[in-house]
């Protein structure tokens, strides 16, 4: 699951044709682009580097695949059951594109929203001369970015496959993340940053799985150790927190945690066909919130039961594979792949506001599946 830092990137060719020529089927190609963005929160400009990765056949229909805040842009690494040759997201049939999330605040910026991530992705697509992706598959935070992208660039995406994400965070999830960020603040102020990151992550982990799964795994008796009682679940939480703290510092964690809570999508501006997957036991993104989003935009929502809760998109391999395969089979690639115009920006995102609602095409009506 992308536990290592991304490899060093080689210089980008000046033109998109040269960049596309660097990709070979089956290989992972990673590269870095410098792009200009405007903060969606206050309009401040910034020049930022975006790390992107692509695998599969370069001439094939393009799919964007993004995961949670700890996932990197190389979906074949953090989602190997679903992405690769012959997998539901088949790199023999598609080019799969991802980005590493922006996770540092540029000077003068007050925060990074999923909309800022969507604008960074649009800049990458511009440089690759990809006007439109056939589908955007987003899980957890990646689902927030997918919805933000479709809100801002409806003409650039064929359909959305969103797993475990609604159009806004639930107040309970925001409350829990606020406590995590307070842990981070105290840790930085008092000189135990790594311990604070681990503790905040341990709290987060309790929201990723269901109560039933914890009861099955951690119902053993406590043991007395180092002068105190220690329960079986503590070993799991401590290990998860420590592993996360090896990869994230407090600032990176805070920025992405805040970004989850800054997530807001105007349902009236969503015209892209939506397929959503929700989990009844998800304590982080309630199933009802995802159902309400799908119903409001005329999309489809499938709800499943899983003891893995929010992590079901990672742990329910066969069920998620069946869902992905069926929805991606409905993706009809463009008969002619359009090329970017000569005016396509190079390294600059399109940061215009969302299109007026009266210019959106009629939404296709699809049933909500309970």
d(CA 254, CA 261): 11
What are 216's two structure tokens?
């099955």
- Residue 159 contacts residue 203 (beta carbons within 8 Å): no
What are 8's two structure tokens?
């060093």
Please give the angle made by the CA atoms of 273, 278 and 281, to the nearest 5 degrees.
170
Between the alpha carbon of residue 81 and those of residues 78, 251, 264, 340, the distances in Å are: 9, 31, 30, 33
List residues bridging with 38 in a β-sheet. 45
Closest CA to 348 of 42, 20, 66, 48: 48
Length of the chain: 370
Q: Which helix (H) or strand (E) holds 96?
A: strand 95-99
Q: Which helix (H) or strand (E) holds 256?
A: helix 250-262
Backbone angles phi and psi of 196, in degrees to 5: -70, -40
Active-site residues: which are they?
A: 140, 282, 310
């Amino acid at each position: 699951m992308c536990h290592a830092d991304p490899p060093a990137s080689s210089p980008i060719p000046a033109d998109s044709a040269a960049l596309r020529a660097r990709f070979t089927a089956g290989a992972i190609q990673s590269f870095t682009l410098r792009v200009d963005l405007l903060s969606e929160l206050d309009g401040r400009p910034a020049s930022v580097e975006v790390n992107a990765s692509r695998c599969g056949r370069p001439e094939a229909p393009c799919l964007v695949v993004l995961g949670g805040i700890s996932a990197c842009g190389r979906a074949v690494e953090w989602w190997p059951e679903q992405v690769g040759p012959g997998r539901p997201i088949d790199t023999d049939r598609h080019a799969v594109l991802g980005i590493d999330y922006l996770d540092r605040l540029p000077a003068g910026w007050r925060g990074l929203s999923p909309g800022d991530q969507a604008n960074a992705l649009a800049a990458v697509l511009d440089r690759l001369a990809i006007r439109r992706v056939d589908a955007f598959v987003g899980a957890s935070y990646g689902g927030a970015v997918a919805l933000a992208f479709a809100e801002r660039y409806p003409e650039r995406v064929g359909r959305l496959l969103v797993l475990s994400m609604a159009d806004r965070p639930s107040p309970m999830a925001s409350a829990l993340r606020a406590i995590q960020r307070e842990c981070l603040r105290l840790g930085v102020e008092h000189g135990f940053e790594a311990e604070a990151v681990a503790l905040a992550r341990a709290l987060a982990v309790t929201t990723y799985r269901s109560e039933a799964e914890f009861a099955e795994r951690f119902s053993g008796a406590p043991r007395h150790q180092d002068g105190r009682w220690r329960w079986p679940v503590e070993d799991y939480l401590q290990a998860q927190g420590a592993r996360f703290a090896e990869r994230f510092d407090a600032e990176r964690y805070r920025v992405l945690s805040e970004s989850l809570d800054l997530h807001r999508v105007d349902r009236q501006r969503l015209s892209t066909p939506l397929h959503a997957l929700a989990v009844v036991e998800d304590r982080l993104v309630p199933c009802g919130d995802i159902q309400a989003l799908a119903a409001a935009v005329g999309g489809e929502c499938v709800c499943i039961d899983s003891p893995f809760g929010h992590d079901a998109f990672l742990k329910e391999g066969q069920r998620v594979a069946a869902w992905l395969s069926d929805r991606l089979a409905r993706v009809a690639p463009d008969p002619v792949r359009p090329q970017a115009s000569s005016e396509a920006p190079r390294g600059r995102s399109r940061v215009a506001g969302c299109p007026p609602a009266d210019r959106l095409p009629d939404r296709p009506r699809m049933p909500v599946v309970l």
